Amino acid sequence: MNNDILEPVICMALLTFVMMVWMYATRIPASKKLEEEGINLQNLSHPSKLAGVFPSNVERVADNYNHLFEQPTIFYAISFIIWALSMTDSLYLTCAWLYFSLRLIHSFFQATINLVWIRFGLFMFSWVILALMIFRLSYNVFI
């Protein structure tokens, strides 16, 4: 059962890979179009200069890809600690799968219709699940 905690971790990594492919599938054609319009992309080489240059549907996918390197890094760390300490149980597994599911839905919403309040709710709910994992693990390790 202990290795089961790695399944949602691998799914998170796969989600990140899918979002990277999606990002380049939208960004490369958008970049080519900008070049055709006479924009020198080299002048936009710093990320701070890219804001608002690409269409919203292209930026949303890139934003989501970047977001997958923020909060989920804590999920990875917590999951690996649970695994390393052989503490995987049904509650941790349920939380891990729920966390992955919420991040998957969050990614879909952000990259497509981008309903801000739904996206925010998904983000906050995923934080609640992650916090539950963090506090439970902290209790199990420190007490």
Once rounded to an integer, what is the mean pLDDT over residues 108-130?
A: 96
Residue 24 has pLDDT above 90, yes or no: yes
Nearest 5°: phi and psi at 102?
-65, -40
Q: Which amino acid is at 57?
A: N
Q: What percent of the chain has pLDDT over 90?
A: 85
Q: What whole-number distance in Å separates Cα of residue 61 and Cα of residue 110?
A: 7
Average pLDDT along the chain: 95
* Cα dihedral 73→61→6→76 (10° resolution): 0
pLDDT digit string, tens, across residues 34-67:
999 988 888 877 877 777 889 999 999 999 999 9
> 51 near 89, Cβ under 8 Å?
no
pLDDT score, position 123: 97
Once rounded to an integer, what is the mean pLDDT over residues 71-96?
A: 98
- CATH code assigned to 2-142: 1.20.120.550
40 versus 86: the higher-pLDDT residue is 86
From the CB of residue 139, how many other CB atoms can be counted at a distance below 10 Å? 9
Please tell me the least confidently modeled range out of 1-5, 42-46, 58-62, 101-105.
Answer: 42-46
Per domain, the residue ranges of the chain are 2-142
Residue 85 has pLDDT above 90, yes or no: yes
pLDDT score, position 44: 78
pLDDT score, position 50: 76
Q: What whole-number distance in Å separates Cα of residue 138 and Cα of residue 143?
A: 8
- pLDDT category, 80, cuts 50, 70, 90? very high
